[in-house]
Structure 1
Amino acid sequence: MSILPIPRLRPDRPEDFPPPSRALDEPNGLLAWGGDLSPRRLLAAYRRGIFPWYSEGEPLLWWSPDPRLVFDTDGIHLSSRFRRELRRCPWTVRADTCFWEVIRSCAMAPRPGQDGTWITPEIQAAYAGLHRLGHAHSIEVFDGERLVGGLYGVAVGRLFCAESMFSGQSGASKVALAALGRILSGWSWPWIDAQVENPHLRFLGGRAIPRQDFLARLPALVDAGGRLGPWTAAVGAIPAASLTQAPAA
């Protein structure tokens, strides 16, 4: 019997989820609980616009909020002041060279108004498993050979579902996001799913759309051909300073 006013996921049916339309209004998007973090279940969730989010000591919770925050990959916004600073920046951006370091840094990053992290050791291990299978990726910002920022997320078809980012130096997470947008736009991937809106993400160009609109477009994106496996060679080393320039036509 469920101890929460939402369905409990069966451990023997990793691809079964309730329709996102059944998610609660308060808390916004809470859809189900239980199950596990196996690769099969995680990928099935992302393909349906669902993701896990819970804190240490809570049951495993699954969400599909309304509205949904997305970035158009060609619409990442960097302020004029930040672009001027980037022109002199020696950083470079790579992909999938140190996934563990990125996810651990995201877990340790302080979050205003939050005590602790939702990126528990269990979450870290689960997404590292997806990374080994070629589904989860990290975008990494380096100053020389020192990691100073980055983000990680899951690719399903031609949709990138961003999970978390961190800055070891001011502005490094913005560089990671801008580089990700540049990379995905070049591959004709239209959206980065940022899940839940906040003022910082809105300032960077994220836009909130109704969940039903997000879900209506989702099947065509997740069923499209993606890029399974490491992105390291395809991304190469992107100079952060190049992100101030318009992408090549």
Structure 2
Amino acid sequence: MKTLAWLEGDVPLPPPDQAFDDGLLAAGGELTLTRLTEAYSKGIFPWYNEGDPVLWWSPHPRMVLRCADFKTSHSLQKKLRQLARHEQEAGARIQIRLNTAFPQVMQACAEPRLHQNGTWISREIQEAYFQWHKAGRVHSIETWIDGELAGGLYGVSLGRFFFGESMFSRASDASKLALAYLVAYLARHGVAHIDCQQQTRHLASLGAAPLPRAQFLALLEQALRHAAPPWGQGQLLQSGELAPANAKPS
């Protein structure tokens, strides 16, 4: 019979295959950079309500987006074509930027959604991932429209694997534009997969598919043998290149 592991001090996380049917693996511990790096390297992530102990998860199956399978709607393809024609102009209305407003992206992702009373992205989560961002492991991809942050996402990069954490949108397709540019950047640098954690209809519509835990962990193990992309700060182009931002965030 399985029992929930309780973490204290430097006690290692248990193997992912010891998780319960719902994916819950362990509880307790702190969101230190060492613990977070250990967790993500083992295919484990924290997800819990503010005020509760940290809960650690390893779902089976695992929702994963293969970059080559990313789907774009007809309307999104049209916007991407329009964006490509003007993205390098100094006065471009829309820019996709990398790591120029990480705290604002996390705060926007933490705002309660329609029909939701709260958020799992607590102040504790925001502080931990901001520290991880400053250490070069967590990154924000941002859609700017007329100088305003209109949408985006953030996630963790370890080796040649990207773990998507959360998205937000204040304008039509703003988060999808950021995702499309992220996919291009990752593909350019040999990153083939984005972890999406939980199964949702929205993620499936973008091309994500469920993978058995063992298959997911095998992909992750292989990806961790390689160096991560050269993350920096600036403007992303549809080619997957990173250029200096044409304008500073307002």
Please report the TM-score for the alignment, with normalisation by the length of structure 1.
0.87
Deviation for aligned residue 1:176? 1.1
Contact 2:189 2:229 (C-alpha < 8 Å) held by counterparts: no
Match of 1:116 in 2: 118
Task: Give, in whole Å, the separation in 2 of the partners of 1:227 and 1:39.
Answer: 19
Q: How do 1:15-26 and structure 2 match up within 5 A?
A: 16-25=12-21
What SS class does the counterpart of residue 68 from structure 2 fall into? Answer: coil
1:67 to 35, 39, 61: 61
Q: 1:217 aligns with which of 216, 219, 238?
A: 219
Q: Deviations over 1:61-111 (max 9, x none)?
A: 00000010111122211111332244445421110111000000000151x
Percent of residue pairs bearing the same amino acid type: 43
Select 2:160's aligned residue among 158, 161, 166.
158
TM-superposition CA deviations, 1:153-194 (whole Å, max 9, x none): 110111010100100112111111111111100111110111
Counterpart contact for 1:70–1:207, Cα < 8 Å: yes
Q: Per the alignment, in what secondary structure is the counterpart of residue 100 of structure 1?
A: helix
Say whether 1:143 aligns with 2:145.
Answer: yes
2:244 alignment partner in structure 1: none
Q: Give 2:4's aligned residue.
A: 6
In 1, Cα distance between equivalents of 2:169 and 2:219: 32
SS at match of 1:93: strand
- 1:209-240 alpha-carbon deviations (Å, 9 max, x no partner): 11111012211112311136x4225xx3436x
Task: Give the direction of change, closer, same or farther, for the CA distance of 1:113–1:208 in structure 2 (3 Å limit).
Answer: farther
Q: Which of 40, 49, 59 lines up with 1:55 in the alignment?
A: 49
- Matched residue, 1:246: none
Structure 1: give runs of 5+ residues left out of the alignment: 244-249
- Classify the secondary structure of the residue corresponding to 2:69: coil
RMSD between superposed Cα atoms in Å? 1.9
Give the 5 Å matches for 1:66-85.
66-85=60-79
Letter aligned with residue 53 of structure 1: W
Instruction: Give the one of 170, 176, 179 matched to 2:178.
Output: 176
Partner AA of 1:222 in structure 2:
L
Amino acid at match of 1:179: Y
Cα deviation, residue 140, structure 1: 0.6
Whether contact under 8 Å (2:155, 2:162) holds in the other structure is: yes
Contact 1:76 1:177 in 2 (8 A): no
Aligned to 2:185, the other structure's residue is in SS state helix
User: How many residues matched?
Assistant: 230
Question: Matched residues in 1 for 2:51 and 2:69: separation?
Answer: 38
Q: Which amino acid aligns with 2:177?
A: V
Q: Deviations over 1:29-49 (max 9, x none)?
A: 000000000000001100000
The CA distance in 1 between the partners of 2:61 and 2:115, in whole Å, is 22
- 1:191 and 1:113 mapped to 2: Cα distance? 31
Q: Which runs of 5+ in 2 are unaligned?
A: 84-92, 241-250
Partner secondary structure for residue 131 of structure 1: helix
Letter matched to residue 159 of structure 1 = F
Is the 8 Å Cα contact of residues 112 and 118 (structure 2) preserved in structure 1?
no
What amino acid maps onto 1:20 in structure 2? P
Residues 226 and 86 of structure 1, relative CA distance in 2, 3 Å threshold: closer
Alignment partners' CA distance in 1, 2:51 and 2:97: 35
